[in-house]
Chains A and B, each alone.
Chain A
Amino acid sequence: MSSSTDRIERKILLKAPRSRVWRALSNAEEFGGWFGVDLKGKAFTAGKRVQGQITYPGYEHLVFDVWIERVEPERLLSLRWHPAAVEPSADYSREPTTLVVFELQEVDGGTLLSVVESGFDDVPPARRLEAFRMNSGGWDEQMRNIEKHVATP
């Protein structure tokens, strides 16, 4: 599906070599560092499930739970997850997942990283609402924090 409600796509130019960006993505521990999840001792292997405790302040009771689909060195990493697994006691195993694909491309001045998350059209309406809950939470504040952080030399 490719409707405008099914996918999210973002791109970012990273002023770092492709090998460096690949390490930050594919090394589970490093991934956990910027993503906010404890993945110490874990590895991203195609076809394997990876779980870790979220370390992001206020969300430490939640578990990051993904299935790694493809690992193509320095080019592509893809995984599946449940887009709104916010209830620690709930069983999400039968619910549809969304697919997240990271792709790397060498460009002048660094590496272009794109991330596409797709499959939202298959998520039942009620579950979409769960995924969208952060609308009402402190997300805007987090965005301001990060802006402040990057603005500091």
Chain B
Amino acid sequence: MSPRLSAPAGKVPLKKPALRNSALIFAALGDETRLRLIAVLCAGGTMSIAQLTSGTDITRQAVTKHLHVLADAGLVRDVKVGRERLWEFEPTQMEEARRSLDAIGRQWEHALMKLKLAVER
């Protein structure tokens, strides 16, 4: 990693759309209700809003609002089955957020390889 290998502003152009995308994901996940919805959809597959609200004291409108925030971040998507609208988890975006952490791990691997060269000399 040598330094935290962050690109200094102005030197290495950032992939702006990718960053914006990640910002949306992190913001969407930064809410307890939405995290719970993601967990339920991950475990339960495709579900209706009625299923998502049953057993909770959260309103239909509130769940719908939260689902739209998650959908805007690309974390869930809706599918129409007949006249019913169902919701399902969309894993791709989540994987992207995880990849960010993997990148820091790679920085460490890089630093450790340099350490290896130094001590095994």
Contact = CB atoms under 8 A, between A and B. Distances in A.
A117 interface: yes
A125 B114 CA distance: 30
Given A5-B98, A10-B108, A117-B104, A24 B115 contact: yes
Contacts of B112: 10, 12, 113, 115
Interface stretch (B18-26, B37-45, B46-54, B61-69): B18-26
B3 A135 contact: no
Contacts of B6: 84, 86, 130-131, 133-134, 137
Interface string B7-28: 1110111110011001100110
Contacts of B9: 86-87
Contact of A133 (B7, B97, B110, B119): B7
B116 A134 contact: no
Interface residues of B, number: 44
A14 B115 contact: yes
A58 interface: yes
B56 interface: no
A64 B110 CA distance: 17
A84 to B, nearest CB: 6
A134 B119 contact: no
A113 B115 contact: yes
Interface string A117-153: 1001000011011111111111100110010011000
A100 to B, nearest CB: 9
Contact of A132 (B1, B12, B100): B100
A36 B22 contact: no
A142 B119 contact: no
Interface of A: 4-5, 8, 10, 12, 14-16, 20-21, 24-25, 30, 33-37, 54-56, 58-59, 61-62, 64, 81, 83-87, 113, 115, 117, 120, 125-126, 128-139, 142-143, 146, 149-150
Given A131-B4, A135-B99, A137-B6, 11 more contacts: A5-B101, A24-B115, A24-B119, A36-B3, A59-B3, A83-B104, A85-B4, A120-B104, A128-B26, A133-B6, A136-B12
